[in-house]
Amino acid sequence: MQITKLTTQSVLPLTCSRTGSCCFGKAVMLNPWELLCFSKEKKITAREFRDLYCEFGGIRLRFNGKPDKKGQQACSQYVDNMGCSVHLGRPLACRLYPLGRHIQFDKAQYIYESDTFPCLNDCAEVLELPQLSVGDYLKGQGADPFEKAQDAYLNIMQNIADIAFELLLDSGLAATGDTKTLAAWREIGSELPEALAERIGQEWMDCLMIPNITDTTEDPIVFIQKHHDLLLLKAQEKFGSIQTTQELHEASVILIAIALHLARGLGANAKEISEHWIETAKSHGAKE
């Protein structure tokens, strides 16, 4: 897939013709803040939204609506002749489309996929509409808090992985000559999202995707900080007193699984990230 990189000054036919043709056959990934925003707009709980409308424990929006002419199924939130039923709560992926925000490790860049501007495939009339700079388009879409949320969750992803590194490198596990922990990190990087969600288990999945934060706020950064604290507290409760090498191995593996599942929900490439982490661990003395 060709990637065209953009800057905020790039000018493109970014006025939407509003046919909704891009609400079919897509993979819209979600982070926990986006899941909460959806549920608020829908006036149901995040748990209900996840169970009714999401896949893989909440990291992907379900596309199970009536198919279009090409046989691509509509988003679960798409209503015929009306469009998006949760427009104000839509996630970053929908706010950015036809643009994407490519995450490589911990950096983001605006892009579109393919060498042809994506709207031209389904809505060629956009060529007749006014052009916009990427920066103005993002402003009009209210993307800023959602971008901040994505970046804050990228930090959480790295922080969770850092604990997995500590359990491997600083606990003495790597020094025993352990090779199975990095082998498991590699396996997890290629694991299908449904299998990964199962590996993580319901308790951790709930803590990851529908954290019990009752005094919710409109500010994603405040919410995400609380979520971060909850995740660290849970890790402390679960792994604070483990001792055996088997326990250290299992804890390190489950934390990498959680970090990679979150990474997928952020639209990142889990395999690339796991390989990067494996190389980093090896450069600090771990073996595979």
Binding site for ligand SF4 (CB under 6 A): 16-23, 28, 75, 77-78, 84, 86, 90, 94, 97-98, 119, 122-123, 126
Which residue number, 77 or 150, has a Cβ lying nearer to ligand SF4? 77
Nearest-approach distance from CB 133 to ligand SF4, in angstroms: 16
Query: Cα–Cα–Cα angle for 165, 263, 212, nearest 5°?
Result: 90
Nearest-approach distance from CB 31 to ligand SF4, in angstroms: 14
Nearest-approach distance from CB 62 to ligand SF4, in angstroms: 10
Which residue number, 127 or 222, has a Cβ lying nearer to ligand SF4? 127
Nearest-approach distance from CB 107 to ligand SF4, in angstroms: 25
Which residue number, 26 or 276, has a Cβ lying nearer to ligand SF4? 26
- Give yes or no for a contact between 137 and 117, defined as CB atoms under 8 angstroms apart: no
Which residue number, 86 or 152, has a Cβ lying nearer to ligand SF4? 86
Nearest-approach distance from CB 84 to ligand SF4, in angstroms: 3
Which residue number, 114 or 202, has a Cβ lying nearer to ligand SF4? 114
Distance (Å, whole) CA 113 – CA 199 = 32
